[in-house]
Amino acid sequence: MIVLGIAFALQTTSECSAQAKKEAATETKEGKGFDVLKGRWLRPDGGYIVQIRAIDGSGKIDAGYFNPRPINVSKAQATKESGKIKVFVELNDVGYPGSTYTLTYDPKEDVLRGIYYQAAMKQSFDVYFTRMK
């Protein structure tokens, strides 16, 4: 009985270790998936720029927004939904109180596409951003 108990304990420890490695690999993979967002993105219809400086493991983005002067970014977050990378950016500045971007990354075209909600006008617009080289 004692030998069987030790074997079970070793198997459980080894299963836990394998599970931990799998979870770490998933987190690393997801983190690398968000890394593709880093850089400067241009909205061609107006010269607006979203700069994604860094993204932490939870998807929180360190971002800047320029038109052409800096506009305060109150929140920026990346998520994965159904295998797609989504980006949410909320602005909070003069002329931009609560305006948001809800974007999806298109890896084939290397663009961010989605909706810009202009809160002051209460209107939504289809927009896209191209990566600046």
Closest CA to 55 of 65, 47, 67, 63: 63
6 and 20: one domain? yes
Q: Which residue has the tokens 């971002």?
A: 63
| pLDDT single digits (tens) 119-131 | 999 999 999 999 9
C-alpha span between 15 and 9 (Å, rounded):
10
Q: Which domain holds residue 17?
A: 1-35
61 and 124: one domain? yes
27 and 50: one domain? no
Supply the CATH number for residue 53's domain: 2.40.128.30
Check residues 3 and 39 and name the one with the higher pLDDT. 39
21 and 67: one domain? no
Query: Whole-model pTM?
Result: 0.76
Q: How many structural domains compose the chain? A: 2
In our burial notation (b when 16+ CB lie closer than 10 A, e otherwise), range 13-30 reads eeeeeeeeeeeeeeeeeb
| pLDDT single digits (tens) 53-99 | 999 999 999 999 999 999 999 999 999 999 999 999 999 999 999 99
27 and 76: one domain? no
Q: If pLDDT is split at 50, 70 and 90, which confidence band does 31 have?
A: low
The pLDDT value given to residue 133: 83
Under 8 Å between Cβ of 41 and 132: yes
